Structures are given as structure tokens and as C-alpha cells.
């Protein structure tokens, strides 16, 4: 699987939504695959741990874990080993999502572990200054998500465009190369277009797709908006 | 799958051992299945989250998660939803393992969640008084594991038989029905026999099997010892 | 100071309220002392860590810490050592308050530490089953506080009397001697009377006193209500 | 009290050592005061929360808390409020000590809180890359302490000088102004001199002073070494 992702990219975080658990995770991933194939816009999915293997078996698009622990193989019952999610078929993992935040030294350790194990690291941050702090730790991808907008349907690119532009500015000072995504509140194609226009290379979405009445149609709208941008 | 387990039972905790990750988790589970079939002693396995689906697909013996979080479906990125591990094929879950300890109110909540979702709850405890505390919360199974013996090859049934008998005595005062397992340091058939003789209904093992040169042979020895006890 | 407290008792949790921080903590403690002296109903106070020494210097009534960590002297920067709060003048400590919950094994450890160090343990619990679990660990005092009522002004004794009576029933099965307090939502003398009538030996209060316009008058009303009960 | 500290500075972390708890914390702080007065090298002390008030009452040198929580006044029983330690007499606080690590977003929040409340922030980091991450959050002081050297008597300035120089280099890229301390394993005057020579503005020490047979003499040796450097 490619360590290098094609951008722009839309990453769908399945969270622990019942609409994206088990059998329904596979169905949703297949819709993402379909849109990926039809639009040639890269779509990634981040299902729950127990769904990684079956989702990765069902689709060819990049599959991400939602979290891995800052541990190595051993006596760590109930924790998430990087090697385990990779062998199950994940190509990368979210790190420090606002709903699963880590201690700073563990973010550092997990990023190093992902490098050793061969997983793409998608480190999340809440605000511009935290984004810059995370960017100094050299993850492959940085995702900025103002937590107060999560699940609101109000995208950062609209409500707080300065959060996105400040993030880009601060992050570029300390890390010129990291891929930057933005997330929280993205629910329409125009939100995706606005985000890309502000300068990010992709979006991290969740309820906007997972809880949509027709996820395929909304995701397709997202991809179209991203496609125009790319051209 | 049966909500009621047959006892005596040997539950193998795969932890995050590399010997029991991914493909090797499936191989080990198949050996457990073989011993289960040959000896008619119930063997359960607790692989990592990302391995539950493939392990449960490969074997018929009971598969347990190593942990679930005290959450319901929703905005809980990176957490472990009970419904998710059940749909992946787990029939139960460890709770509060000494390597993944929970706040007391979360143990209570997880036990209730497992009841609602239909998972067998295997709550772990470190010492007799904590065992009694956990037993008041009415899990299906209680597992006592003195953490100082984990991975030592010195079984509680030998080094600290009074820990096991005190646990049984204290637990029975507050909960006459709960199934009791003991663990930590179990590495030979005689350790299993000694544990059952002290009055528990099964054992929770990890490195004793997973890191054995020949897990099948050791597990078979465990099962033989348990079988004699049953007769 | 007495290891044995006189009951009925009213314990005031100062939390991190600005009305009860620093100089204002001392003022509030002095009002508690005054009511204690006037009514001969025992009043305890639980100020913030940094206020324990000055509060204990200013009053003779029992002073409690709000929490201590499950640690012994050593390399534990930023943690709360039982010996430290005792030497500063505390006679006891809250444990596992719903706003500072502990892992089960740490509740067990902290109760043992308080016994060794000579502090009165006031272990908190959210509901009847958790109360019973905590009671098996033999704290000196058990405080039941349904967290959903904290700060509401609606007392458990009124909104959920069965929570209190169920707690007493379940706790007495496993621990006939522990002193039982109830808390959350207590804001008037009649709430105190109702709680004592349900069978508890005291109340744990916070905003009902700390955020009252006239804490002295409300506390005096509490003590009067408790006094009638005692007679 | 001065928001601006004089450098070079020696900050003594009292941890939860019994040698520096309660009455003995005051004694040790007085020795620090004496060395401060005799050598005109700035000495700071970081006692336990419950000792801040009495220590700050007994000495004029800067007193630091060992930790504050990422909270504001309110329903936060058992947590450490910045206003509380400041009113007790602290002029600053350690943040994210390796024994009390925080989630990244909480480090960011605590630094902002200290700015609002008027406390000097001393943010700790384990290695050069984490130091740079912390430095982007603009604390007043950054302290680098390789945790593997804590309590060993082997100073970073000797065992791993490149950790110190790499830290300075990486930190200066993202934050040219922050004061930098180093710590872990410092037990002799020459260790202090070596550290200052590598380019830091002070040291963070603990057992090297607190557990010394004669803390006054060792601290005086530290100050002499720092003094020479200053000249």
C-alpha cells in the first residue's frame, strides 16, 4: 500500500457511530470506494479497530485506524498496537483526535512508532498553536479540527477561516512539508471547496458523511468540489 | 453463541504479544480450538481488537475482547464500542485488566453495557478486597490476578494460595453466583489443577501459553489437568 | 484531632469555587466554625490543597483534603501525598469524588494509605451499586452523590429518595458500620432533615453553602435541621 | 513578586520527598533563601501544594507550584486551580513534569491560564523534539529533563550533552526568547557549570539537593558554580 497519499484527500472518520459499525462500516467504505473510483479524488476511511480487517478486505482505498497507543509489543492488554492495525490492513492512523487526546510525549512516541512500523501518521490538533506544536514532531499529515465545531454542520472554513489560515501560517514556519487537512462541521461540497481554497490539502469529515441520509451523494458532492479545486 | 460458558474454562489473553498478533493470532486460536475439541475442556481466546473479526471467523471457541470502553455509540473516536466487538464476533470482554484499569464508575457502566449488548463480562481484580468490590457490581465472571505475579511463571495458586482462597471467601459473601477465574504466572498443568482445587472455575493465562515454545502442547497439558479436576 | 467524627455532620466541599479560594476560604471556614460552636452540630470543610494549611490554622473544626493520590513519598511531582495534607492540618480526605474519580485499585490503595497515615477516608460513589462496591473496601465514611444532581439545588433526598435508601440497604449488607453521607443538590434545611430521616448520618454539600448569598445563615439552617433530627 | 526571574536560576523541585514535606519543606526553603542571599544567585523552590502557603510565608525567594490543572474556577473538586496556588504565594508553576504529564491541549491551556492569572510558566519536556513542540506554545521557561536520568546522579550535561545542545538549537528555531533550564541527574557544582556552559540559563534539580546529606552545602556549591559562569 502507498505510504504516500494522493491529495486532495477526503478522510472519513467513522467514530463509534452505529451507522458505521460492523456490516454498516463495510457498506459505507464501499460507497467511499465507489466515489474514489468515479471521481479519482482520494477517499480514505477510518473505521473502528474491530472493523479494520473486514473493511480493508472489502475496499482498496486507504484505511486508517482512529488511534494507536504509545506502546510496543508486550504486556499491554486492551491497548492498540501499531503493528496490529497495520497487519489488519490499515495504512495509517489518526493520532490525538480531540476525542482521544494524548499526552505530548505520547504523541511524539506514536509518531516515531508509526514511522518504524510503516503507518501514515495523521496527527490532530485543536487550534493553530497546538497545530504548530504537533507539526514540530513531524507527522506525515496534520489535521486541524476546532472541537467546538465538531458535529455542528458549521465548517471551520466558513465560521473561522482565520483558524485555518493561521494554522497554515504557523505550521509552515516550523514544518514546510507536512500535508494539512482541516475538519469539523464540513457537510457540503462548498465547505470542501472553501477549505481547499484556504490552502489545505484535504478534509477530515465524520457526521457530515456518516450521518447523511445519502452518504454516497454527499461524498460525491465533496469529491466533485475537491476535483474542481485540483484542476 | 452461548451467553453461558461451560466450565472449567481456560481463557488465553493474547495481550499485545507479537507472537499473537495478526496472522499468528489466528494460528494460536486454531490451536486452542484443537485442544478444545480434543479434550472437551472449554478454551477461550482474547485477541487484540483488530484481530477479533478474523479470529472469530477462523474458530468456533469463545472469543473475548480485551477491553471495551464505557461509551455508547457516538462521538468517541478511538474508543472501543461494545457493539463493535460483539458484531466482530466477540462473545464477551475482559474488563479492568490490571494493564487497562478503569475508574470504578466505568467498571459499573461497562458491566451494564455488556448486559444490554449481550456480551459476557469478565471483570478483573488485583486482590481479594478489590475482587469483592468488583463482585458487588455483578459481572458474569470475576478474574483475580495478583499483578506482581503476571509474567513470572509463578502461579498465585502456588505462591499465594491464600490470595485465591480469601478472594473466593470474600466474593461469595457478596455474590454467591459469579464464576471465578484466577490468573498470573500459570505455566504448567499442575498450576491449573492447583487453581481448580482451590475452588475457582477456570484460569486466565497469557505468556504461559502465548510465549511457550509449543503452545499446543502446553495448552493440552492445561486442559488435561482441568479435565481430571472436572471428573 | 479526633479520628472519630461526631455525627450528624455537615461537610462543605469548597471545590475550586472562587468564592472559597484563598482568603475567602478562610472566611467561609470561620463561618462554619461559628455555626459548629453555636449549634453543636459538627461541620467539616474541604478546601483546596493550597488552602488547607491556612484554613486549619484558622479553625478547629475538621478540615478535609478534596483528594489524595495513590502514592507514597518519592518521585511523584505534582501529586498529592497523604502525609502532606495531614501535616498541613487535614484530618481526612475525600476520595473518588465524581469530579476526581479514581481507578478501582487506586481507591483501595488510597483507603489503605489513609489508614496508615491516620486520615479519615470519605469515599464517594455515584449510585447504590458503586456505593456497595466502595463500602467493601472499608472506608471510614461513604458519601453517595448522584452526579446528575450536583449543583442543581434538587436534593437526592427529594428527587431520588430511593437512591439513598437503596444505597443504605446495599451498603449495610456488605459493611454494617460505615458512616453514610449523602450529597448533591442540598440547599435548604429541609433537605438536610429529609436526608437524615432517610437514614444517613450526615450530608456533603458544596454550592448550596459556598454560593449562597449568606452562607452563614444557610449553614445555620442546615445545622438546626440536623439538630432537631439528632434530638 | 517579580514576573521576571533573574538568571542564572536554580529551581529545586521538592517532589513528594518526605525530606521536603511539611515542616521540612520550610526548613529546606530557608536554606535555599540563605544561599540566595549569600551568593546572589537566584534560587527557586517548588514544594507540594499543601506547603506552598507556609513556605511562601517563610521565604522571599520565588516559590513555584509543581503543577496546575487546565481548569477554571468551578466544579473541579480535587484539582489544582492556578488562582489558588498564586494566592497561596506561588509566583509560577511547573507544567508537564515527566512525573505529571499532560495532554498537549492541556499544556496549551495551562500556559494561557498562567498568563491570565500572572504565574510564571515552567513547561517541562523529555527530549529535544518535545522541547521544540512545547516552546511553540510560548511558556516563560522551558525545562528539558531526560526522564531516564532523573534521580541517577548522572547529569544530562555530562551523559548526554547533545540532548541539551540539540534542545537549544531546535527550541531557538521556534522560540528565540524562552528561558531554557535543564535538569535530571544534577548533583554537583560542576554539573551546574557544565549545563550553563552548554547554553542554558539555569537548572532544575530535585534529589541532588533534597536528598543530599547537607543540602545547604551542595546548594551553595551549585550557586558558586553558577556565579562563576555569570561572571
Q: Which residue has the higher pLDDT, B163 or B97?
A: B97
Over range B100-118, report the average pLDDT. Answer: 97
**Sign of the Cα pseudo-torsion (A11, A13, A18, A23, in order):** positive
* pLDDT at A2 (0 to 100): 43
Cβ–Cβ below 8 Å for B174 and C170: no
**Picking from A68-82, B215-229, C81-95, which range would have the lowest pLDDT averaged per residue?**
B215-229
Which residues of chain A lie closer than 8 angstroms to B73, CB-CB?
Answer: 16-18, 21
The CA distance from C228 to the nearest CA of chain D, in Å, is 30
Catalytic residue among D145, D148, D190, D221: D145
pLDDT, tens digit, 9 for 90 and up, residues A87-118: 999 999 999 999 999 999 999 999 999 999 99
Cβ–Cβ below 8 Å for D136 and A133: yes
* pLDDT at B2 (0 to 100): 43
Confidence of residue B3 (pLDDT cuts 50, 70, 90): low
Touching subunits of A (3+ CB pairs, under 8 Å) are: B, D
Contact between chain C and chain B (3 or more Cβ pairs less than 8 Å apart): yes
Global pTM reads 0.96
Closest alpha carbon to A10 in A228, A198, A197, A186 = A186
CA-based angle C15:C18:C23, to the nearest 5?
A: 100
Q: How far apart are CA B90 and CA B142, in angstroms?
A: 18
Which residues of chain B lie closer than 8 angstroms to C113, CB-CB?
Answer: none
* pLDDT at A1 (0 to 100): 40
Report the residue of chain C nearest B174, measured CA to CA. C174
Phi, psi at D8, each rounded to 5°: -65, 150
Over range C32-61, report the average pLDDT. Answer: 97
pLDDT, tens digit, 9 for 90 and up, residues D44-101: 999 999 999 999 999 999 999 999 999 999 999 999 999 999 999 999 999 999 999 9
ipTM of the prediction: 0.95
Catalytic residue among C83, C97, C190, C221: C97
Nearest Cβ partner for C136 among B96, B102, B132: B132
Is the distance from CB of B24 to CB of B213 less than 8 angstroms? Answer: no
Cβ–Cβ below 8 Å for A48 and B81: yes
Percent of chain A residues past pLDDT 90, beyond the cut: 84
Confidence of residue A159 (pLDDT cuts 50, 70, 90): confident
Catalytic residue among C87, C99, C116, C145: C145
Which residues of chain A lie closer than 8 angstroms to D126, CB-CB?
Answer: 105, 108
Nearest Cβ partner for A136 among D102, D107, D129: D129
Is the distance from CB of B143 to CB of B125 less than 8 angstroms? Answer: yes
Is the distance from CB of A79 to CB of B100 less than 8 angstroms? Answer: yes
The two counts, helices (H) then strands (E), for chain D are: 10, 8
Q: How far apart are CA B193 and CA A191, in angstroms?
A: 64
The verdict on whether D145 is a catalytic residue reads yes
Over range C154-165, report the average pLDDT. Answer: 85
Over range B116-135, report the average pLDDT. Answer: 96
pLDDT, tens digit, 9 for 90 and up, residues A174-199: 999 999 999 888 999 999 999 999 99
* pLDDT at D99 (0 to 100): 96
* pLDDT at D159 (0 to 100): 82
Cβ–Cβ below 8 Å for B84 and A13: no
Report chain A's terminal Cα–Cα distance, integer Å.
Answer: 26
* pLDDT at D1 (0 to 100): 40
The CA distance from D45 to the nearest CA of chain C, in Å, is 13
Q: Which residues of A are catalytic?
A: 97, 145
Is the distance from CB of C105 to CB of C98 less than 8 angstroms? Answer: no
- Provide the strand spans (E) within C107-175: 120-125, 141-144
Confidence of residue D22 (pLDDT cuts 50, 70, 90): very high
pLDDT, tens digit, 9 for 90 and up, residues A23-60: 999 999 999 999 999 999 999 999 999 999 999 999 99
Is residue D176 scored above 90 in pLDDT? yes
CB-based contact (8 Å) between A58 and chain B? no
Confidence of residue D229 (pLDDT cuts 50, 70, 90): low
Phi, psi at D45, each rounded to 5°: -130, 145
* pLDDT at C207 (0 to 100): 94
Catalytic residue among D40, D67, D83, D97: D97
Over range B125-129, report the average pLDDT. Answer: 93
The single residue listed with the C-alpha cell 522541547 is D131
* pLDDT at A230 (0 to 100): 56
Which residues of chain A lie closer than 8 angstroms to D101, CB-CB?
Answer: 103-105
Is residue B229 scored above 90 in pLDDT? no
Mean pLDDT of chain A: 93
CB-based contact (8 Å) between A23 and chain B? yes
The CA distance from A139 to the nearest CA of chain D, in Å, is 12
Total Cβ atoms within 10 A of residue D183: 27
Q: How far apart are CA A210 and CA B76, in angstroms?
A: 14
**Picking from A8-17, B63-72, C173-182, D144-153, which range would have the lowest pLDDT averaged per residue?**
D144-153
**Sign of the Cα pseudo-torsion (D37, D38, D40, D42, in order):** negative
Which residues of chain B lie closer than 8 angstroms to A51, CB-CB?
Answer: 53, 84, 88
Is residue B17 scored above 60 in pLDDT? yes
* pLDDT at B1 (0 to 100): 40
Touching subunits of C (3+ CB pairs, under 8 Å) are: B, D
Q: How far apart are CA A211 and CA D111, in angstroms?
A: 37
* pLDDT at C160 (0 to 100): 83
Q: Which residue has the higher pLDDT, D158 or A181?
A: A181
Q: Which residue has the higher pLDDT, D51 or C147?
A: D51
In the stretch 83-142 of chain D, residues with CB closer than 8 A to chain C read: 83-85, 87-88, 90, 94, 97-100
* pLDDT at D213 (0 to 100): 96
CB-based contact (8 Å) between C66 and chain D? yes
Is residue D4 scored above 80 in pLDDT? no
Is residue C2 scored above 70 in pLDDT? no
Is residue B23 scored above 70 in pLDDT? yes
What size, in residues, is chain B? 231
Amino acid at each position: 500500500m502507498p505510504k504516500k497519499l494522493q491529495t486532495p484527500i477526503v478522510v472519513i472518520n467513522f467514530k463509534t457511530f452505529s451507522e458505521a459499525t460492523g456490516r454498516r462500516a463495510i457498506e459505507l467504505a464501499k460507497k467511499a470506494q465507489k466515489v474514489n473510483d468515479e471521481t479519482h479524488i482520494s477517499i480514505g476511511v477510518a473505521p473502528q479497530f474491530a472493523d479494520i480487517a473486514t473493511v480493508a478486505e472489502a475496499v482498496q482505498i486507504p484505511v486508517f485506524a482512529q488511534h494507536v497507543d504509545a506502546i510496543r509489543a508486550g504486556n499491554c492488554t486492551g491497548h492498540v498496537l501499531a503493528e496490529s492495525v497495520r497487519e489488519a490492513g490499515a495504512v495509517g492512523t489518526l493520532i490525538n483526535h480531540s476525542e482521544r487526546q494524548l499526552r505530548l510525549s505520547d504523541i511524539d512516541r506514536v509518531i516515531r512508532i508509526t514511522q518504524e512500523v510503516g503507518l501514515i501518521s495523521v496527527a490532530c490538533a485543536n487550534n493553530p498553536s497546538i497545530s504548530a506544536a504537533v507539526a514540530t514532531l513531524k507527522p506525515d499529515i496534520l489535521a486541524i479540527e476546532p472541537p467546538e465545531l465538531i458535529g455542528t454542520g458549521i465548517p471551520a472554513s466558513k465560521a473561522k477561516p482565520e483558524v485555518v489560515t493561521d494554522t497554515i501560517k504557523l505550521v509552515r514556519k516550523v514544518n514546510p512539508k507536512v500535508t494539512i487537512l482541516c475538519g469539523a462541521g464540513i457537510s457540503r461540497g462548498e465547505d470542501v471547496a472553501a477549505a481547499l481554497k484556504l490552502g489545505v490539502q484535504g478534509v477530515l469529515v465524520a457526521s457530515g458523511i456518516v450521518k447523511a441520509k445519502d452518504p454516497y451523494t454527499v461524498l460525491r458532492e465533496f469529491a466533485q468540489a475537491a476535483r474542481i479545486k485540483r484542476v
